[in-house]
Homo-oligomer: A and B are copies of this chain.
Amino acid sequence: MTSTYVPGLEGIIGAQTAISMVDGANGRLVYQGYVIADLAEEMSFEEVAFLLWKGRLPSGAELEGLSLELAGHRTLTQGANIALDALPVDTDPMDVLRSVVSVQGVEHKLAKPTIPLAIHATASFPTILAMFHRRQLGLEPIQPRRELGHAANYLYMLNGKESSPEVVRALNTYLVLLADHGMNASTFAARVIASTESDLISSLVGAIGALKGPAHGGAPSQVMDQLEQIGAPENAEHWMREARTRKVRFMGFGHRVYRTYDPRARILKAMCERLNPTFYALASKVEETALAILHEEHPERPQATNVEFYSAGVLQAIGLPKEFFPPTFAVSRAAGWTAHVLEQVANNRLIRPQSEYIGPEPRKPVPLAERG
């Protein structure tokens, strides 16, 4: 019954899901039967969240109902406000999100996950981030505006003024593109936690912690750091070859599943070219150089620009500081995480793999006095 250990569970099926399909061989990402390219620039984040939660696209009335429910749950509890204000201003925004989502959620105790709870949690993420960002800047918090959509309201609460339709649209597309992605590590963590019959908030808090890691959602801000170090397109070749001699990892490349170009990266790249030409000039040169070097080193591996690489340029164009790239990924992925938790609990089985013991054979302990 017990099989051979596969490090990282690579190729092992961790869950069955209708929520999304990462079709690595064909470079397609599918949400509940819709290809991401058909949704990214056509749908609002709210529409896509409805799709992920319910398995179908909403009617006009349903979309309005969801939008009202989201807009009506953008404020924080008193405890969450106090906890947020107690965090040092140099706190990593991912840690702010992890902590304040946890505090905000205590009122739900062991409540079984439901769509309303998913909506309320999703609504709270932008508020937490925007309020913390205002505090970092020494500015007053901005109250949410009910008539603004999820993307527009996030930007409004961050900046204290409405963003241009183009910028709102760019953020919306980003939020749609990143909302789900099969059995990535944070989603898997959320499902493991949900499988113990724990609550939705516990799953989300675990997922945020997983997304924080540079091998998952923590990369986009590191993409920015690396591009800043390279500085200009003409430095790319020299900097990157030299970096490689020091075993420096190129940030924003590599993915376990895609064998062709990541479809999200393709859309984000086109957006960067339009919205952030300075970034695009540098990034496209760095990408070209990185792919060439990676191909020289491992010709057998497929091309590998991942979603984080051009995400950085889009989020920069929107005006986000780079520390807010990973938590803005979480603003999007909240929809997917909650959808997966709902799917897990609808047909639950405790996710509890085995471990293979590689420690010493049992022997008698030496008493403390004789251990010297």
A interface residues (Cβ-Cβ under 8 A, vs B): 1-22, 28, 30, 32-35, 38-39, 42-43, 47, 55, 57-60, 63, 78-79, 82-83, 86-88, 91-92, 95-96, 98-99, 102-103, 105-107, 109-110, 182-186, 188-189, 192-199, 201-203, 205-218, 256-257, 349-369, 371-372
Q: Is the CB of B30 within 8 A of A359?
A: yes
CA distance A369 to B357 in the complex (A): 58
CA distance A16 to B352 in the complex (A): 14
Q: Is the CB of A198 within 8 A of B202?
A: no
Q: Chain B residues with Cβ under 8 A from A47's Cβ?
A: 368
Most buried by B among A1, A19, A86, A367: A86
Q: Is the CB of B86 within 8 A of A351?
A: no
Q: Is the CB of B12 within 8 A of A3?
A: yes
The quantity of this chain's copies bound in the complex is 2
Nearest chain-B residue to A204 (Cβ)? B209
8 additional A-B residue pairs with CB within 8 Å, beyond A8-B195, A95-B201, A188-B353? A30-B359, A33-B359, A57-B371, A78-B86, A79-B87, A96-B106, A196-B213, A206-B206
A324 to chain B, nearest CB (A): 15
Known contacts A360-B18, A365-B57; decide if A206 and B193 are in contact (CB<8 Å). yes
Q: Is the CB of A361 within 8 A of B33?
A: yes
Q: Is the CB of B192 within 8 A of A210?
A: yes
Most buried by B among A13, A205, A212: A13
Q: Chain B residues with Cβ under 8 A from A212's Cβ?
A: 110, 196, 198-199, 202
Q: Is the CB of B216 within 8 A of A196?
A: yes
Q: Chain B residues with Cβ under 8 A from A99's Cβ?
A: 83, 99, 102-103, 106
> Would you mind naming 12 contact pairs between A and B with Cβ atoms under 8 Å apart?
A16-B358, A17-B359, A18-B359, A42-B365, A58-B371, A60-B372, A79-B87, A79-B88, A188-B353, A196-B215, A197-B214, A206-B209
A321 to chain B, nearest CB (A): 16
CA distance A352 to B18 in the complex (A): 18
CA distance A201 to B2 in the complex (A): 31
Q: Chain B residues with Cβ under 8 A from A194's Cβ?
A: 213
Q: Is the CB of A210 within 8 A of B188?
A: no
CA distance A224 to B22 in the complex (A): 45
Nearest chain-B residue to A368 (Cβ)? B60
